[in-house]
Amino acid sequence: MFCFVDEATVRPSWVAFKKHWPLLIVLTPGRVMQEGVENLALTYFGSPAMMQGSFMLCVPLFTMLLACVIEGRRFRWELVLSVVGITGACTQVTLGCAMILMEPIVTALGVVAALGNAVTPVIAALLLRSPDNSVLVLGWWQAVLKLPVYLTAWLLSNERWSSLQYLVNYPMIECFCLVGSCIALCFCLVTFNVIRETSSLTNVVLGSTTHIVMVVLAAYVVEQLSNVLINLGVALYVPALLAYALLMLANCGTYVGSSTEGLPLKGPPNETTALSSNGRVQAGVYQPTQRADGTFDWLVVPSRATVVRRAPILSWLLGYESTN
């Protein structure tokens, strides 16, 4: 965890929680749905591959739609096509591995897991915009808010005492659980850091990449399975992922407004960059970066009025009031 600590790290506070509690409350169920459904699939269906192979492959599209509705983002058609290509490639690979099962319970669990996996990065991106939050703060609040949920589920379970007895009889399993919890915390912090440095959509695209790698390795290496659909999915995924990476580097996934908001602006750096004391971006523009030709680029961050006008759900969650 200390790799994420710097001089500007913000610590959890009750004042910040009261300010952002709607988003924090929404962030926790999303992660709980994702983890809970995957654990349920692993326990009662033998493998979480059912979840990964059904609606989980649509997570990039779900995240893009949620980013448009909640964050008020507008994506250019090139970026939308690349995400559609990534989703189509995941579908081809999954169909080739024959992972999609059409039982109603599997379909319902897949929808829940996909929605939870899609809403979490979007809400985290909103919280990380505030100077009151940091990667460690989100990891802290998520762990604290998830604890009563899992504790309630454990108390309501018929296996609560037998699970304790099992851990007493097999202490090595308890050690594995503790190690897994530490790995999950590190994964959570890495995920939040990726969202902060890139975007919520990029985070889920990277997640789909791990899905492709895991499925392809399992199909090729373990099951010795190779067919036209798997090969076609891999052939489609590589150029789609490359196109997405190039478009994101070209800042095609930013705001596109009716005025100059979201459009690259050129000029020398000046004192108009609205950065707080800890370096986080407030309403204004990003700190400019210098191009090879000597010009400077930055991107405009929408003001409160713009957020209220374009994203009423986001404005309600953040406590913004309409000026109309």
Using alpha carbons, select from 98, 86, 119, 121 the residue that is nearest to residue 47.
98
Residue whose tokens read 């809970």: 36
pLDDT of residue 267: 40
The answer to whether residues 164 and 215 belong to one domain is yes
Q: Are strands 265-266 and 289-290 parallel, antiparallel or unpaired?
A: unpaired
- Of 218, 249, 280, the residue at which a domain comes to its end is 249
Whole-number percent of the chain with pLDDT over 90: 0
pLDDT at 7 over 50: no
In a domain, 254, yes or no: no
The answer to whether residues 80 and 130 belong to one domain is yes
Mind listing the pLDDT tens digit for each residue in 278-309?
Answer: 444 444 444 444 555 554 444 444 444 554 45
In a domain, 4, yes or no: no
The answer to whether residues 213 and 269 belong to one domain is no
In a domain, 88, yes or no: yes
φ, ψ dihedrals at 12, nearest 5°: -60, 145
- Of 224, 249, 274, the residue at which a domain comes to its end is 249
* Residues 137/11, Cβ–Cβ less than 8 Å: yes
Does the CA dihedral 142-144-147-149 come out positive or negative? negative
pLDDT of residue 75: 77
In a domain, 255, yes or no: no
> Using 50, 70 and 90 to split pLDDT, how confident is the model at 10?
low
In a domain, 257, yes or no: no
pLDDT of residue 278: 40
Measured in whole angstroms, how far is the alpha carbon of residue 28 from the centre of its chain?
A: 13
The answer to whether residues 104 and 236 belong to one domain is yes
The answer to whether residues 179 and 279 belong to one domain is no
Please report which helix (H) or strand (E) contains residue 1, including its range.
none
* Residues 77/235, Cβ–Cβ less than 8 Å: no
The answer to whether residues 275 and 241 belong to one domain is no
The answer to whether residues 242 and 270 belong to one domain is no
Q: What average pLDDT does the segment 194-204 reach?
A: 81
* Residues 49/214, Cβ–Cβ less than 8 Å: no
In a domain, 12, yes or no: no
**DSSP 8-class letter at 272:** T
> Using 50, 70 and 90 to split pLDDT, how confident is the model at 89?
confident
Query: How many of the other CB atoms lie within 10 Å of CB of 287?
Result: 13
pLDDT of residue 69: 80
Cα–Cα distance list, 237 to 91, 206, 227, 266 (Å): 10, 12, 16, 34
pLDDT at 76 over 80: no
Task: Tell if the pTM clears 0.85, that is, is over it.
Answer: no
Q: Which residue has the higher pLDDT, 260 or 230?
A: 230
In a domain, 93, yes or no: yes
The answer to whether residues 115 and 217 belong to one domain is yes
> Using 50, 70 and 90 to split pLDDT, how confident is the model at 17?
confident
The answer to whether residues 122 and 212 belong to one domain is yes
The answer to whether residues 273 and 230 belong to one domain is no
Nearest 5°: CA angle at 297, between 296 and 302?
140
Please report which helix (H) or strand (E) contains residue 300, including its range.
strand 300-301
Mind listing the pLDDT tens digit for each residue in 24-69?
Answer: 777 777 677 767 766 666 666 555 454 455 556 677 888 888 888 8
* Residues 315/307, Cβ–Cβ less than 8 Å: yes
In a domain, 260, yes or no: no
Average pLDDT score, the chain? 67
Residue 155 to residue 82: CA distance in whole angstroms: 45
Cα–Cα distance list, 53 to 20, 121, 275, 277, 291 (Å): 34, 20, 42, 45, 42
Q: Are strands 300-301 and 296-298 parallel, antiparallel or unpaired?
A: unpaired
pLDDT of residue 254: 44
pLDDT of residue 253: 41
Q: How many structural domains compose the chain? A: 2
The answer to whether residues 234 and 301 belong to one domain is no
pLDDT of residue 174: 80
Point out the least confidently predicted range of 97-101, 165-169, 203-207.
Answer: 97-101
- Of 225, 249, 273, the residue at which a domain comes to its end is 249
Q: Residue 299 belongs to what domain range?
A: 265-318
Residue 152 to residue 94: CA distance in whole angstroms: 35
Cα–Cα distance list, 121 to 71, 144, 274, 311 (Å): 11, 18, 24, 17
The answer to whether residues 86 and 148 belong to one domain is yes
